[in-house]
Chains A and B, each alone.
Chain A
Amino acid sequence: MTRIRFDHRPFSRATRALVAGLGLVLLSSCKLADVFDLSGNQSTMLTAGPVAKAQWDLFMVTVYVCTFIFIVVGAILAYAQVKFRARSESDEHAEPPPEAHGNPFVEIGLIAASVALLVIIAIPTLRDIWYTHDVPEDEKGNAMEVVATGNQWWFKFEYPSELVKLPNGGEAPLVTGNELVVPAGIPVRVQLRTIDVIHSFWIPKLAGKVDMMPNRANFLWFKADQPGYFYGQCAEFCGESHAIMRFRVIALSPRDYAQWLENQKAPARTVTPALLADAVDRSARVQFAAMKRNPGEALSASPAFDADPLNAWREMQHPEVGENAQLIATGRQLFAAKTCVSCHSIRGHEGIGISGPDLTRVGARSTIAAGVLENTHERMHAWIKDPNHFKPGNKMWFGGYNVKDGDNWKPNFTMNDQEIDALVAYLHSLK
């Protein structure tokens, strides 16, 4: 009988030390616990509504079953590896074990056990497929409907049952961009549309994703148990800036929601010296009741905001202190002159464009550029100055700042810092 010829050299002590050292370097350079963090702003574990909760609970069923299988099969495999290991040269070259070819009873038993374990997963899976699909029958009367439309690379939100007066006397659904405000405790059915490629609508703490497919009437539903501020993101690759196509969902108590809605439906706020002199307007236009904090723990790089995002968002609803009516008026002129109006709408002011987000209340949003930048003066300035830096390939840069000239792009207009400051002041006055 042929022998397996080969020297059997174990690792030297030095090698083992090297491996252990490398491992320690890896472990010590990041906080290990944070590697396995599940408490982020898009955690699927810290659920805030029944749909996400059903999905997480089902996931945990699969985790229990699979962990059980892994432990049992892994234990047997580990036992076999240790128990039947050749321990010495002579062991390796001993007569081979008997030529056993299998055992049908063992095989059938294991197949039956596998099927039984899968049934444990299958039952809640089937139940939840129907539950998560659409608003339950008994809640349908209570549900509200919104339309979310994916664009490269931002989200448009429409409220089909909330009509606003247009300057021409007509009526149209209320439109916002990138921040979806909904009432807490009420099922929300989101119709999913896209005007270009496939996007996917995902608010991890409230509901798993459903794709926005062209020529297909998809929808999803969710319900926020409590008022809160939630992170969402496009989850289907949709081109260059897919990574920075984000949005927020803000759930308010029904009363706050009604107030928010009322403010939204009014035409854009016009700042004049007379208005600023009027003390009444200095106070908040939207009065919020004291609300429970968002129970989700948000890790934050921008502590001021993330410490209490919902409160921070509420602060954004108030007109800013120290508004300059003249600067704002200049900004409003620039908004028209620099062709912003051809893509953006500010209802009651200038602008009829629909290919960019509606900006009627842009100053009251907590983020700009589709959830990418906090809506501060500095960041809006930076965004307007160089949008392509923050969102490569975006249509404000390609088509607005630059226009097509044959096969090439040529600059359409530029803005200096003073002009941008005026524009920012104007946009931030839109509360």
Chain B
Amino acid sequence: MAEVIAQSGFTGKQTARRATTFALFPRPTAKTGLVSWLTTVDHKKIGMLYGGFAILFFLIGGIEALMIRTQLMVPNNRFISAQLYSELFTMHGTTMIFLAVMPLNAAFFNLLIPIQVGARDVAFPRLNSFSLWVWVVGAILLNVGWISHFVPSWNFGGAPDVGWFGYAPLTSKSFTPDLSTDFWVLGIQVLGISSIVASLNFIVTIINLRAPGLTMMRLPVFTWMALVTSFLLVLALPAIAIALVMVMFDRNFGTNFFEVSGGGQPILWQHLFWVFGHPEVYILILPPMGYVSEILPTFARKPLFGYPIVVFSGIAIGFIGFGVWSHHMFTTGLGTVATAAFALATMAIAVPTGVKVFNWIGTLWGGRIVTRVPMMFALGFIWMFMMGGLSGIMHSAAPADAQQQDSYFVIAHFHYVLIGGATFALLAAIHFWFPKFFGRMVPEFWGKLSFWIIFVGFNATFFPMHFLGLNGMPRRTWTYDSNMGWNEGNLFATYGAYLLGLGMFTYFAVLVWSFFKGEKCGNDPWDARTLEWSIPSPPPEHNFAAIPTVHARDAWWYEKTHKEEIAQEKAAHIKAEESHGGIHMPDQSWYPLFAAIGLLVGAYNLAQLHYPVTMFGQQVLASHLPLAITGLGLMVAACYLWALEGPGGYHLHIDAEGKVTESRGDHH
């Protein structure tokens, strides 16, 4: 045990408070190499890890989609079995939502929010690291079942196969007795922990760590949308957490929340699931609306049209998004009054969404539109999102939805929103911010080529699906007969999917090439507007040599036109900060990683609780309970040691030439 005088992280001043610290594992200080990544608390490194893993899963989910499309290419196809098909569409949905789009958004939250609010890291750096590794644990749990297909002794019954929506009572032990559903339940549960923790972190960061002068109504729109999204996550995830606990208890401990034989109500699952699931749609799409709201002004070379209306419509979408969940359930026998209420609420949510589109067009109006790759994806976003939004309005007419629900029309609709919308915006964002975080440009030609292949391939895949759905083709079907009039539409969609796959491959291959060989760039290659473009590319660990004072929306744009004023302020800030002991930086830590490993061991064994533990064909333990307790104990121990470790931290000092030195211990 050692006693140190604590430093306030905010002011760098010594406080009278005394902290007791105890370090079983000394805090690592490596800045490069494996240890630096495993123990990092730097929001930029965490963001890149989120992004890297997410892109990996995006490609896996894409391969799953191509296998689905190959199976449906011709009628009565036998390319894959019905069972494998169920696993593929379940994991395609689960992967794309939880392991691709959400973590890609999380990557941008991490990379951008601290810089856009003028901070040096998130509010709770170690907690941020914990979110990342817990997310990795969830990803492992969801995908571990694939091993069963290759190693028969790991008999988990394959990957989850109950659909990403996991409707009870199909998830009951009577209908899916194997372990795949248990891993699905725990995997989603663990991902939920990660998201809630991360969201709380971002909420505190955005509200508390804003630079001087950065009022809420001066926040970049992306950060605003991230704030709304974080609130949605914190409020929506408990619903699914409860529902998942119920399924877990039904499967393992003999409760009957959804067990029909015990009087359970499967409809309850749908309400709980969609109370989470519909806000989830906005969790996926609000951050992309944020990217587009940053990219359009940059390349139209004028500020966002109607900033307050765009912000408030984002908040309105967040609110109304909690009141429309039953439009996923129009065919479950809600009765007339509830159906009418949810139909009208669904129409209402179209208004703030439409407002955003109007304001994006207003942003373009009178601008000087510079057509670069991010702008092309952003414009593609508006067009495709409009298509998806309008087919969404069609669904709000509940009686018409009775024909479209669970048909390919719905598949067309939400892929227009989630690929044409969310993914196009994410591809725009990746291309836009790649130079900032890697210091290199992505070649314009290859970017544009990939845009056009993706754009054509996407529409060729999903536009015919509107017609397949109206022609009566139900979704989640492994095969179809040849006399239904669906043959040509499916063949065409499959060709389109291959083209889309080629486009995605091109996009990411060019990204990899650019990482090594792209042309180097300066701070601000796009002549952009927000604070991240004021600092070097890639940004230094401490982001800002001097915390900026914000005088207007689009703070960096203002700075570009008020250079002297800002330079004076910055010099004053540097001086003041140095007098408080220098730039305060958070220390790395092993414990977030250890806690996540404990959670992995615990959840992995909890999933197979009632099964005996065997080793080399011999039964070693009657159940997995001791191992599950060990794992969860490890997590609790890591969290406890994490608390004892103390806040830590060190200081950076920047001299007149810009040279950075590091110091530890007491400062004055």
User: Which positions in A face B, CB cutoff 8 Å?
Assistant: 1-9, 11, 15, 19, 22-23, 26, 29-32, 34-45, 52, 54-56, 58-59, 61-63, 65-66, 69-70, 73-74, 76-77, 80-81, 84-86, 91-92, 94, 96-103, 106-107, 110-111, 114-115, 118, 121-122, 124-126, 128-133, 152, 192, 196-198, 200, 202, 204, 207-211, 213-216, 218-219, 231, 233-244, 298-302, 306, 372, 392-393
- Contact across chains for B526 and A129 when beta carbons are under 8 A apart: no
A213-B333 contact given A4-B526, A74-B386, A301-B482, CB 8 Å threshold: yes
* CA–CA, A65 and B389, complex, Å: 13
Known contacts A100-B366, A239-B175: does B402 contact A36 (CB below 8 Å)?
no
Q: Is the CB–CB distance between A41 and B472 below 8 Å?
A: yes
For the complex formed, measure the closest distance between the CB of B210 and the CB atoms of chain A, giving whole angstroms: 21
Name 12 extra pairs, CB < 8 A, besides A35-B464, A40-B472, A215-B260: A8-B444, A76-B361, A84-B364, A96-B368, A100-B302, A101-B303, A111-B354, A118-B350, A196-B175, A200-B331, A213-B267, A237-B170
Contact between B492 and A35, CB atoms less than 8 A apart:
yes
Which residues of chain A have C-beta atoms less than 8 A from B456's C-beta?
19, 22-23
Q: How far is the CA of A61 from the CA of B489 in the complex (A)?
A: 25
Measured CB to CB, the residues of B under 8 A from A are: 75, 81-83, 86, 161, 163, 167, 169-170, 174-175, 260, 263-267, 300-309, 331-333, 335-336, 339-340, 343-344, 347-348, 350-351, 354-355, 357-359, 361-362, 364-372, 379, 382-383, 386-387, 390-391, 393-394, 396-407, 441, 444-445, 448-449, 452-453, 456, 460, 464, 467, 470-474, 476-489, 491-492, 495-496, 499, 521, 524-527, 560
B367 to A: closest C-beta gap in Å: 5
Contacts A36-B467, A213-B266 hold; do A43 and B485 have CB atoms under 8 A apart? yes
Instruction: Choose one: A43, A80, A200; the contact of B472 (CB below 8 Å).
Output: A43
Residues of A within 8 A of B304 (CB): 101
* Whole-angstrom CA separation of A103 from B355 in the bound complex: 13
Residues on the A chain within 8 Å of B491, using CB: 29-30
Are the C-beta atoms of B394 and A62 separated by less than 8 Å? yes
Q: Are A129 and B339 in contact (CB under 8 A)?
A: yes
**Which of chain B's residues have a CB closer than 8 A to the CB of A196?**
169, 174-175
With A102-B359, A114-B350, A302-B483 as contacts: A62 and B393 at CB distance below 8 Å: yes
How far is B339's CA from A8's CA once the two chains are assembled, in angstroms? 53
Contacts of A65 in B (CB 8 A): 393
Report A-chain residues with C-beta under 8 Å of the C-beta of B264.
215
B599: min CB distance to chain A, Å: 30
Residues in A neighbouring B306, C-beta threshold 8 A: 101-103, 107
Given A7-B444, A35-B488, A86-B371, decide whether A125 and B86 contact each other with a Cβ distance below 8 A.
no
Chain A residues near B470 (CB, 8 Å)? Answer: 38, 43-45
Which residues of the other chain, A, contact B445 by a CB distance below 8 angstroms? 9, 11
- Report the Cα distance A242→B82, complex, angstroms: 9
**Shortest CB distance A189–B (Å):** 13
Q: Are A96 and B485 in contact (CB under 8 A)?
A: no
| Inter-chain contacts of A106 with B (CB < 8 A) | 358, 362
**List of A residues within 8 angstroms of B560 by Cβ:** 1-2
CA distance A11 to B394 in the complex (A): 38
Number of A-B contacts (CB under 8 A): 360
A27 to B: closest C-beta gap in Å:
9
B400 x A59 contact (CB < 8 A):
yes
A39 to B487, alpha carbons, bound, how many Å?
A: 12
Instruction: Chain A residues near B382: list those with CB within 8 A.
Output: 77
Check A237–B309 contact: CB distance below 8 A: no
Least CB separation from A23: chain B residue: B456
Report the Cα distance A107→B316, complex, angstroms: 15
User: Which residues from A are CB-within-8-Å of B332?
Assistant: 211, 213, 216, 218
Q: Which of B82, B265, B383, B398 contacts A125 (CB 8 A)?
A: B398
Whether the Cβ atoms of B486 and A86 lie closer than 8 Å is: no
Which of chain B's residues have a CB closer than 8 A to the CB of A210?
331, 333, 402
Cβ–Cβ contact B489 & A36, under 8 A: yes
Measured CB to CB, the nearest residue on chain B to A309 is B483
18 pairs, A vs B, C-beta closer than 8 Å: A5-B525, A19-B452, A26-B499, A37-B488, A40-B471, A42-B472, A52-B403, A55-B402, A80-B365, A99-B302, A102-B359, A118-B347, A121-B347, A128-B399, A129-B340, A198-B169, A210-B402, A233-B474
Q: Which residues of B contact A238 (CB under 8 A)?
A: 170
Chain B residues, Cβ within 8 Å of A96:
301-302, 368
Assess whether B175 is in contact with A197, with CB atoms less than 8 Å apart: yes
Q: Is A34 in contact with B343, judged by CB distance below 8 angstroms?
A: no
CA distance A39 to B401 in the complex (A): 19
Contact of A55 among B379, B403, B484 (CB under 8 A): B403
Indicate if the CB atoms of B483 and A91 lie closer than 8 Å: no
Is the Cβ of A15 less than 8 Å from the Cβ of B479?
A: no
**How far apart are the CA atoms of A31 and B492 in the complex, in Å?**
9
Q: How far is the CB of A130 from chain B (nearest CB, A)?
A: 5
Q: Given A34-B489, A98-B302, A62 and B400 touching (CB < 8 A)? A: yes
- Asked if A35 and B302 sit within 8 Å, CB to CB, the answer is no
Supposing A9-B445, A129-B343, A211-B332 touch, asked if A298 and B398 sit within 8 A by C-beta, the answer is: no
Instruction: Give the residue name and chain of the B residue nearest to A109 (CB).
Output: B358
Residue of B170, B355, B407 touching A197 (CB-CB under 8 A): B170
CB pair B399–A132 under 8 Å, yes or no, is yes
Chain B: minimal CB distance from A312 (Å): 13
From the candidates B83, B339, B448, B492, name the one contacting A240 in the complex (CB within 8 A).
B83
- Inter-chain contacts of B495 with A (CB < 8 A): 26, 29-30
List chain B residues, Cβ under 8 A from A128: 397-400
Q: Report A-chain residues with C-beta under 8 Å of the C-beta of B163.
A: 237
Residues of A within 8 A of B336 (CB): 129-130, 133
Residue from B302, B340, B485 having most chain A Cβ neighbours under 10 A: B485
- Whether A70 lies near B390 (C-beta < 8 A) is yes
Is the pair B441, A6 in contact by a Cβ cutoff of 8 Å?
yes
Contact, CB under 8 Å: B361 / A204: no
Task: Find out whether the CB atom of A237 lies under 8 angstroms from the CB atom of B383.
Answer: no
Q: A40-B471, A235-B474 are in contact. Are A125 and B397 (CB under 8 A)?
A: yes
Decide if B444 touches A42 in the complex (CB within 8 Å).
no
A13 vs chain B, min Cβ distance (A): 14
- Distance (whole angstroms) from the CB of B333 to the closest CB of chain A: 4
| A234 CB, nearest partner CB in chain B, Å | 7
- Identify the closest chain A residue to B353 (Cβ): A114
Residues of A close to B483: CB separation below 8 A: 41, 298-302, 306
Please name the residue on chain A nearest to B171 by beta carbon. A197
In the A-B complex, the 8 residue pairs with the closest CB atoms: A42-B472, A208-B402, A40-B485, A243-B477, A102-B306, A34-B488, A301-B482, A218-B333
| A93 vs chain B, min Cβ distance (A) | 9
Question: What's the nearest-Cβ distance from chain B to residue A331, in Å?
Answer: 28
Evaluate whether A69 and B390 lie within 8 angstroms (CB atoms) in the complex, with A26-B499, A243-B479 already known: yes
Quick check: B496 and A392 within 8 Å, CB to CB? Answer: no
Q: In the complex, what residues of B have CB within 8 A of residue A26's CB?
A: 460, 492, 495-496, 499
Tell whether, in the assembled complex, residue A39 and residue B485 are in contact, meaning their CB atoms are under 8 Å apart: yes
